Amino acid sequence: NKLNSLGKLSLSNREKIVYPLIFVSIILALFIVDIANKQIADNQSKIKNRLLENSELIAIKKFIINNIKSPFENINYRVKKGDTLVKILKNHQIKNQDIDKAISEFKKHNKSSNIMSGFDIFLTIRNNKSLKENSLESMSIPISKSVTIEIYRDEHKKLISEKIITQLFKKVRLVENKIENSLYASAVESTIEPNIIIEFARIFGFEIDFQRDIRKNDYFKIVYEKYFDENGEFIKSGSILYTHMNVNGREITLYKFGNDKSYGYFDVNGKSVEKALMKTPINGARLSSSFGMRKHPIQGFNKMHTGTDFAAPMGTPIMASGSGTITRAKWCGGGGNCIKIKHNSTYETIYAHMKSFAAGMKVGKKVRQGQIIGYVGSTGMSTGPHLHYEVIINGKKVNSQKLKLPSGKVLKDDERKQFEIHRIKTDVLIAELIAKNN
């Protein structure tokens, strides 16, 4: 029994010694394996580096890099004294065909091909090493502090250009003149830009019939914005700020009021000049045939004339007399090319015998009051170039020249106070411009 007890005791002691030894052995083995793996990895890295140092592999690597490199190159070039556009492009090995086209495009916006030193020109070129010449992809050329010429390839890969205005300087101009023959002729004589003349006619078109109301020695005054670059070159005209007419003994003064996105023209009492429809949708025409019974000039018998005819030169712009949606834009038989506009649930207008429609005019197109919708022609049953204009109220054709339209908006409360302040400031500005002109 004692021997058995001693045997069991010694076995227990052995377990206490053996198990820790096994654990230590496992840890030691893992450590040795880790060191071996690191050694193998180091050896592999050294072998890889030796392989990469091989001249043939280096050549292959260079070949791959050169072939995956983008063929496009961006260049920022500062213009030096004596540089020309041709010289710069030749120095960058641009092919002659692209140089000729770039110079041609540049001269569309700038008379000379000379450029000012000190400016940075940005080029994007396509390298073509096999032909030892490059293609011009785009080019940005500042010609002043406020104007840059952009030359680039369009969707058809052709070089085109665009003049970018980065900064403009606004001036306010006052023009006044007597009307000898027509408003249009007197405005042109005063060197007023065409778009300002059209806007002027649109504004007063609510109050004045330019074909019947104007008398010799009637008078107009316009104050409007003009924009220039830093060299004083005219770029574009802006808004009409103030306008005044003395027509057949009647004086009308109007002020622009509101922000650039939403504004209107109001008289001295804060009443808007704008109505549902303009009196005449065409400028520079004469009334050639009134609404009512008449002998038809082609058919030769008496017939109701359901519109008003305005004789005008071929191609004269025709305006939408009110904002609305086009419901017809097609050939209308005897009416030739015609457009019909639905303005609201009450008013519709028709414009017939057009030479052509303005770009984009089609059924469903929304147009604004005064927008050009077409041009005077003599299509359909017509004896000469004129506009046949009809106004329809609740489905019934009426005489547009005797139409009494609802008055426009009247400013009230805070808007009226703001308008009065604005009106006084505008009057002061006009007094300063008159004193300056004198």
The per-residue pLDDT string of the chain (438 residues; one tens digit each, 9 = 90 and over) reads 444 444 444 445 555 565 666 666 666 666 666 665 666 566 666 655 655 555 565 665 565 555 556 678 888 888 888 888 888 888 888 888 988 998 888 888 877 666 778 888 898 888 876 667 888 888 888 887 778 889 998 888 889 988 887 778 889 999 988 887 777 778 888 888 888 887 888 788 777 766 667 778 888 899 999 988 777 878 888 899 999 988 888 888 999 998 777 788 999 999 888 777 887 788 755 665 665 554 545 445 456 667 888 888 888 889 998 888 999 999 988 889 999 999 888 889 999 999 999 999 999 999 988 889 999 999 988 888 888 999 988 888 888 777 777 667 788 899 999 999 999 999 999 999 888 877
Instruction: Count the Cβ atoms, other than its own, within 10 Å of residue 85.
Output: 23
Residue 7 is predicted with a pLDDT of 46
What is residue 306's three-state secondary structure?
coil
DSSP H or E run through 42: helix 2-52
State both tokens at 42: 């180091």
Residue 240 is predicted with a pLDDT of 93
| DSSP class per residue in 79-118 | PPTT-BHHHHHHHTTB-HHHHHHHHHHHHTT-SS-B--TT
Identify whether the C-beta of residue 308 lies closer than 8 Å to the C-beta of residue 350. Answer: no
Question: What single-letter amino acid sits at 148?
Answer: T
DSSP H or E run through 161: strand 159-165
Nearest to 284, CA basis, from 305, 314, 321: 314
